[in-house]
Structure 1
Amino acid sequence: MVWKSVKWPVYHVLVAALAILMLYPVIWMLFSSFKESRTIFITAGTLLPAEWKWENYLVGWQGVSGYSFGRYIYNSLVLVVISTIGAVISSSLIAFGFARLRFRGRNLWFVLMMVTLMLPHDVVLVPQYIIFAKLGWLNTILPIVVPAFFGMPFFIFLMIQFIRTIPSELDEAATIDGCGKFRLYAQIILPLLKSSLATAAIFSFYWRWEDLLGPVLYLNSPEKYTVSMALKMFLDSEAASNWGGMFAMSIVSLVPVIVVFFLFQKQIVEGMSTSGLKG
């Protein structure tokens, strides 16, 4: 009885301590965003700033290369929204084909799709760059958003597992009522994939929002830069780097990610679970 009475308090204390440990880098960055740039690393061991520099946020929002930070947030949002829509729709359609349709070479194509999950992304960078250069897509968002419309293996695999838990009797009933394959996908399967679709959308949002390599490779005009590239430009190898402004805008860039997580954390858990239909 004594152990049961102290188990939950001990558990919560340990979880809280672990959460603080994991969040400490973000907390340190938050307080550092209010410090003067030249003192940030000198006073790295001190969490609270000696003098609060609120103007770091104003200076940081003014941006770099003649564009405000709002411009870079807008660029990132456009890229993220288009990529996410393409990834979710295409992945769900491909997953439906693998899970419900019978066609020649299905198992081979599925294996090839799964192999791409184990293929390092760096291996395909050069061939992709050459292809996009010949297409004349450099310095546009097309090399970043167009591949998303051809499906993402992780999302496809996730949705296949979920679709397989949906009773096939629903397909048979819909077919008897005159549903074709695409109508079956759009009106029967897709609504039941809501949690998996939400999970794929959230992960796609996270991955695209923090992506630096893709924009660095394909974008070379400052007016098209994303948030990740703008943060990098606060650092100057030849002069004093604006660490205060960079940390301030890093905190600002975290706001959309945090909002999306807290709004859709339930869908993340439900989407990762393939226990089947409820009720």
Structure 2
Amino acid sequence: MARMSCLEKSVSYVILCAVGILLFAPFVYMISIALASDSTTVKVAFTLIPREFAISNFTNVFTDYHLGTYLKNSIIITVWTVIGSVASASFVSYGFSRLRAKGSGLLFVALLSTMMLPGEVTMVPQFIIYRELGWVNTFLPLIVPSFFAGAYNVFLIRQFIMSIPKSLDEAAMIDGMGHLGIYSKIILPMTYPILSAIAIFSFSYNWGNFMGPLIYINDPEKTPLALGVQLISTASGGQMPPWNMVMVASLFLTIPMILVYMLGQRFVYEANINGGSSGIK
């Protein structure tokens, strides 16, 4: 049995390594193209190890293709959406998990049912509303919705809060603490893992969000990085796209998401375990 177990483990490691190499290969090729020279790009003679290295691509993309502006806009949008997602979802989740009112269960089910609506259904009505508000070509349509508590975030945090004993709340109430104090001084510190996971989810979505800026942003000076990569690919005006510069910009789009997930993957795991095991109560 021990030999069989060792054999099975070895086979599993071999399969995982093969799959890992297969999934990592496009990223390696992206780095190779990002380091390729302009002459290699024009000939489309890309190889795994570039024949002509051009480290200057990582500076030229800032001076010639406005990557710094795209990065700044993405940082502004992402930071505010992460703050809005975490703050609003945690506050609403506390209400659903600790405050009992007539119809609260039905309201929570209605909130969850919004997750079933495809984004294409609400795309046009949302655009009309934001246009009437004068928000088109601003960051507001990309930031403000995050301050209204996404249903999935509320569900995860609510399930996490419901696993916290209510005896802590009762002890705090005996000491004269109200709901706002319980929320800020007891619940928030204990929900740090799930809030970190929500922040990671929000960062990943908004850092790579392409469709939202494509719909609402018209000014290149307000373009975030995800849409900026597409603008760089069309900068040559119908000629051969500068693929080396596109890949450099793509690295700036990809690496932050990889690093954030690597550093916070344990919070994502805890969120899935606690959110999935508690059930809807």
User: What TM-score do the two structures reach when normalised by structure 2?
Assistant: 0.90
1:37 aligns with 2:50: no
Match of 2:172 in 1: 174
Tell me the amino acid that sits aligned with residue 42 of structure 2.
R
In structure 2, C-alpha distance between the alignment counterparts of 1:187 and 1:229, rounded to whole Å: 40
Where does 1:175-254 land on structure 2 (aligned, <5 Å)?
175-236=173-234, 238-254=238-254
Distance 1:27 1:113 in 2: 42
Matches of residues 97-116 of structure 1 in structure 2 within 5 Å? 97-116=95-114
Letter of the aligned partner of 2:267 in structure 1?
Q
Q: Partners in 1 of 2:233 and 2:169 — Cα distance? A: 56
Whether the 8 Å CA contact 1:57–1:248 is kept in 2: the answer is yes
Query: For the residues of structure 2 that align with 1:248 and 1:197, how far apart are their CA atoms?
Result: 32
User: Which residue is equivalent to 1:78?
Assistant: 76
Question: Could you say which residue in structure 2 is the equivalent of 1:24?
Answer: 25
Matched residue type, 1:28: Y
Equivalence for 1:126: 124
Q: Distance in 2 between matches of 1:60 and 1:17?
A: 34
* Aligned amino acid, residue 26 of structure 2: P
Task: State the one-letter code of the partner of 1:16.
Answer: C
Amino acid corresponding to residue 224 of structure 1 in structure 2: K
Unaligned 5+ segments in structure 2 are: none
- Following the alignment from structure 2 to structure 1, what is the Cα–Cα distance between the partners of residues 22 and 255? 20
Question: d(CA) in 2 for partners of 1:88 and 1:63?
Answer: 36
> For each residue in 1:29-76, what CA deviation from the matched residue of structure 2 results, as whole angstroms up to 9, or x when unmatched?
111222332344x54xx4222322333323322243xxx312211110
Q: Shift of residue 214 of structure 1?
A: 0.9
Across the aligned residues of Structure 1 and Structure 2, the Cα RMSD in angstroms comes to 1.7
- Matched with 2:161 is 163
Does 1:52 find its partner at 2:53?
Answer: yes
Distance 2:29 2:239 in 1: 24
1:88 is displaced (CA, Å) by 0.5
Q: Which has the larger displacement, 104-113 or 137-146? A: 104-113
User: Counterpart in 2 of 1:7?
Assistant: 8
Aligned length: 270
CA distance in 1, matches of 2:43, 2:103: 62
Task: Output one character per residue of 1:129-166: Cα deviation in whole Å (capped at 9) or x when no partner.
Answer: 11111111111111111110000111111111111111
CA distance in 2: counterparts of 1:232 and 1:63, whole angstroms = 15
2-structure distance, mates of 1:217, 1:62: 27
Amino acid at match of 2:252: V
User: Could you tell me which amino acid in structure 2 is paired with residue 221 of structure 1?
Assistant: D
Q: Residue by residue, what CA displacement relative to the aligned partner does 1:204-242 show, whole Å, maximum 9, x if unpaired?
A: 000000001111111111111100111001122522211
Separation in 1, partners of 2:5, 2:119: 49
Match of 1:152 in 2: 150
- Segments of 5+ residues of structure 1 without an aligned counterpart are none
Structure 1 residue 139 and structure 2 residue 140: aligned?
no
Report the residue type matching 2:270 in the other structure: E
Flag the structure with higher helix content: 2
Report the alpha carbon displacement of residue 121 of structure 1 after superposing the two structures with TM: 0.8
Q: Distance in 2 between matches of 1:263 and 1:256?
A: 11
Q: Do the aligned residues in 1 keep the contact of 2:208 with 2:253 (CA within 8 Å)?
A: no
- Partner Cα distance (1:140, 1:241) in 2: 28
Q: Is the contact made by 1:198 and 1:271 (CA closer than 8 Å) also made in structure 2?
A: no
Query: Are the aligned partners of 1:196 and 1:272 in contact in 2 as well (CA < 8 Å)?
Result: no
